[in-house]
Amino acid sequence: MHKNALAIFGGSIVLILVLVAIFAPYVARSDPTAIDIKDALLGPSPGHILGTDQLGRDIFSRIVYGSRVSLSIGLVAVGLAAVIGVILGSLAGYFGGRTDSIIMRLVDIMLCFPSFFLILAVIAIIGPSIYNIMIIIGLTSWMGMARLSRVEILSLKEREFVLAAKVLGVGHWKIIVRHIIPNGIGPVLVSFVLGVAGAVLVEASLSFLGLGVQPPMPSWGNILMEGKAALGVAWWLILFPGLAILVTVLGFNLLGEGLRDMLNPRLRR
């Protein structure tokens, strides 16, 4: 098997999902919020390839538009976490001493709280919305990236090119931004890709509990939530959005694992 097969396969899944999300108006068969009671709870058929829900809305269209929500939340939330994590991890690793101690204690404190329950508590207080979910997930998932960045910076700051930059009088921030971070971004990139899969799961879980994206905006989680009431008579309401979540998480996980093997020669088979 090709060494990069995991990354290629996972990347293909992710690329297809991104294209579906971007071109959702052209891929979807109808308006995902259009109600047609006479077509309620129709099974998969040529007219509705994945069936309809209790209000006659087309499940395929809702899943297609739901991909926009899930991918947007995953990418933005993990992007925010990456920015916070890389900045704090870089500061801790480069300056060391008291700066390192304070930042790492902050990381330890954040890790003491179960992330999902912390997100639940905050969302319950400030209210559910797509923007709140992005921000809260980002603010509660940066710790791993901070640790990764710190480890990379610790190993890179003693390299010859960094020492040469210091001798030439280059400022600390320029060294960090232009020399150290670009050379240590590999593990953070892998963590970013894997983090998107986790964020998609968190969003789906929040929406399933009614604390995430609110109807009528389609989300894979709230499609599952609405479908559980009719599970006994409409199995498609649970199966297809569940498969969408499964395929998305699988794609990002395979891409992340493949990138890890590509970027770390010691892990190559």
pLDDT at 39: 86
Structural contact between residues 110 and 123, judged by C-beta atoms closer than 8 angstroms: no
CA distances, 52 to each of 31, 101, 208 (Å): 12, 55, 18
What are the DSSP calls for 155-174, one per residue?
Answer: HHTTSHHHHHHHHTT--HHH
Listed residue (26, 39, 112, 123) closest to 68, CA to CA: 26
Neighbour tally for 176: CB within 10 Å: 21
Helix-, strand-, coil-residue percentages of the chain, each rounded to 5: 75, 0, 25
User: Helix, strand or coil for residue 261?
Assistant: helix
The one-letter amino acid code at 226 reads E
> Rounded distance, CA 141 to CA 78, Å?
8
* Domains defined for the chain, CATH in brackets: 5-28+58-267 (1.10.3720.10)
Listed residue (145, 152, 149, 130) closest to 66, CA to CA: 130
Chain centre to alpha carbon of residue 244: 14
**Residue 13 belongs to what H/E stretch?**
helix 5-22
* Residue whose entry in the numeric block shows the structure tokens 């409409």: 234
pLDDT at 1: 47
Peptide bond just before 218 cis, omega within 30 deg: no
**Phi, psi (degrees; rounded to nearest 5) at 193:** -60, -45
Tokens of residue 5, six digits = 């097969």
Residue 55: is it exposed, middle or buried by C-beta count within 10 angstroms (0-12/13-18/19+)? middle
pLDDT at 3: 53
Beta bridge partner(s), residue 58 = 52
Q: Where are the alpha helices (DSSP H) in 32-96?
A: 59-95
pLDDT at 24: 92
pLDDT at 27: 92
* Residue whose entry in the numeric block shows the structure tokens 């919305």: 129
How do the pLDDT tens digits run along the chain, 269 residues long? 455 777 888 899 999 999 999 999 999 888 888 888 888 888 898 888 998 998 889 999 999 999 999 999 999 999 999 999 999 998 998 888 899 999 999 999 988 888 888 888 888 888 888 888 899 999 999 999 999 989 888 888 878 877 787 787 777 788 888 878 888 788 888 899 999 999 999 999 998 888 888 888 889 998 999 888 887 788 899 999 999 999 999 999 999 888 887 776 555 54
